[in-house]
């Protein structure tokens, strides 16, 4: 497959109204402004009273190089740009971070400050990037408000998972800044560059049973695979996610199949064919016990035991050589030494088009929120290129990968 080099999507000439509501994640909006402007966007900002508790109007104004709006009843602001004009003189209204409070007020049509009034008065597309405590995010009231807003056509980005500023862990973090920028770029590029295409993603570990209570497995969390599935769905693809045992919440708009073993994952993968794009991000166990014990294995009094293992099916190789081979097949390689040489060898042996290399020496990557990869690509002539990517949030990495997938599939025609 011929592969084009991806260039960052331009936002030149796009007018974005950024609403910054209260919450510790408000500090990320400063980098968001800078990144949007780097791509050519004109960014105007509304800073709520809550947002101003975390960042200053001076900092927002300095980065946006535009006046910062905050007061609904400011006569000066009304003379220069009234709230109606502010609501209409943009191409997109982006709320980042979007607190549970501002989403509730938006859902119920309140207009008790400038931000809420603009959201009620705008006739432009609205995109929300929620950020809040995990329990607040999961609360029925919040989920009901989100469902109502989605029904009205509001674009809502899924929050990230991980450690929160409050000390808790769960879903509710503001997505990575570059993920937000990519979401905005994809919106203006047609919002769904992969619409009409089918994608398959494998994610997480497999567990190969030794007996009813023990298994062979690995430390894969599924964070990267799930993030890729979410990014593909956000780009408009019809996504099937086949996941081993993980704690990650299933992404929105994704068809999820839960499996346990490598054989189950292979069966589900073949059943999902045909697809246009396949991303094998799962850390599939290479071996399984030749025979799983029906009952819990007891100590026999000896100092050890011998375990007979057999090789598991090779899902990536099977997909790459299937008579229903996807247009683009992407694999992952986790290596601890001589990583690049082993990744090149794996790319050739498996027959896939791209391979993302993770250096997992010293326990890196598995279970973490960040990832560092080298992307290897094999073109139609068999030539291989290797592009190191900087360390980034796994969700941002997923967006970057999907952006390249979208451009490559479009170029292939």
Q: Which residues are catalytic?
A: 166
Cβ neighbours of 38 (radius 10 Å): 11
The two three-digit tokens of residue 19, written as one number:
């609403």
The candidate with the shortest Cα–Cα distance to 94, out of 25, 181, 172, is 181
DSSP per-residue string spanning 111-146: -SSHHHHHHHH--S-EEEEE---HHHHHSHHHHHHH
Cβ atoms of 392 and 368 within 8 Å: the answer is: no
Cβ atoms of 329 and 1 within 8 Å: the answer is: no
Cβ atoms of 48 and 56 within 8 Å: the answer is: no
DSSP 297: P
The candidate with the shortest Cα–Cα distance to 359, out of 331, 339, 342, 378, is 339
How, if at all, do strands 309-311 and 208-211 pair? unpaired
Angle at 78 between CA 74 and CA 79, to 5 degrees: 120
DSSP 3-state of 285: coil
Helix and strand tally (H, E) in the chain? 14, 22
Report how far residue 268's alpha carbon sits from residue 255's, in angstroms, rounded to the nearest whole number: 12
Entry field: residues in the chain: 413
Cβ neighbours of 264 (radius 10 Å): 16
Report how far residue 404's alpha carbon sits from residue 230's, in angstroms, rounded to the nearest whole number: 15
DSSP 261: S
List alpha helices for 189-331, DSSP H. Answer: 223-234, 262-272, 315-320
Cβ neighbours of 135 (radius 10 Å): 12
DSSP 3-state of 394: helix
List alpha helices for 94-253, DSSP H. Answer: 100-107, 114-121, 134-138, 140-151, 177-188, 223-234
Phi, psi of 155 (to 5 degrees): -85, 120
């Amino acid at each position: 497959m011929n592969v084009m080099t991806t260039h960052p999507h331009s936002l030149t000439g796009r007018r974005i109204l950024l609403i910054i509501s209260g919450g510790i994640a408000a500090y990320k909006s400063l980098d968001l402004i800078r990144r949007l402007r780097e791509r050519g966007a004109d960014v105007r900002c509304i800073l709520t009273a809550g947002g101003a508790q975390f960042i200053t109007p001076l900092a927002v104004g300095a980065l946006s190089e535009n006046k910062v709006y905050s007061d609904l009843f400011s006569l000066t602001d009304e003379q220069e740009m009234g709230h109606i004009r502010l609501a209409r003189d943009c191409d997109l209204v982006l709320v980042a971070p979007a607190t549970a409070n501002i989403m509730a007020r938006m859902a119920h049509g309140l207009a008790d400050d400038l931000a809420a009034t603009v959201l009620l008065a705008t006739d432009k597309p609205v995109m929300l990037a929620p950020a809040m405590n995990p329990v607040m995010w999961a609360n029925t009231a919040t989920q009901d408000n989100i469902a109502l807003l989605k029904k009205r056509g509001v674009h809502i980005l899924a929050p990230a998972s991980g450690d929160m500023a409050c000390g808790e862990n769960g879903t509710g973090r503001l997505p990575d800044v570059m993920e937000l920028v990519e979401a905005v770029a994809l919106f203006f590029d047609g919002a769904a560059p992969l619409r009409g295409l089918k994608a398959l993603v494998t994610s997480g570990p497999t567990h190969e049973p030794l007996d009813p209570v023990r298994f062979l497995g690995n430390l894969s969390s599924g964070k990267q695979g799930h993030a890729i599935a979410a990014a593909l769905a956000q780009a408009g693809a019809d996504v099937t996610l086949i996941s081993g045992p993980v704690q990650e919440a299933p992404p929105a708009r994704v068809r999820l199949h839960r499996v346990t073993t490598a054989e189950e994952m292979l069966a589900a993968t073949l059943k999902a064919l045909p697809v246009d794009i396949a991303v094998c991000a799962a850390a599939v166990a290479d071996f399984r016990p030749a025979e799983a014990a029906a009952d819990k294995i007891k100590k026999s009094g000896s100092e050890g035991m011998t375990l007979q293992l057999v090789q598991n099916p090779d899902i990536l190789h099977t997909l790459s050589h299937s008579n229903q081979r996807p247009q683009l097949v992407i694999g992952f390689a986790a290596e601890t030494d001589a990583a690049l040489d082993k990744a090149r060898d794996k790319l050739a042996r498996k027959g896939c088009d791209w391979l993302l290399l993770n250096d997992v020496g010293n326990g890196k990557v598995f279970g973490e929120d960040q990832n560092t990869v080298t992307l290897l690509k094999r073109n139609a002539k068999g030539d291989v290129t290797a592009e190191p990517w900087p360390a980034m949030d796994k969700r941002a990495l997923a967006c970057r990968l999907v952006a390249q997938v979208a451009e490559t599939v479009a170029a292939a025609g």
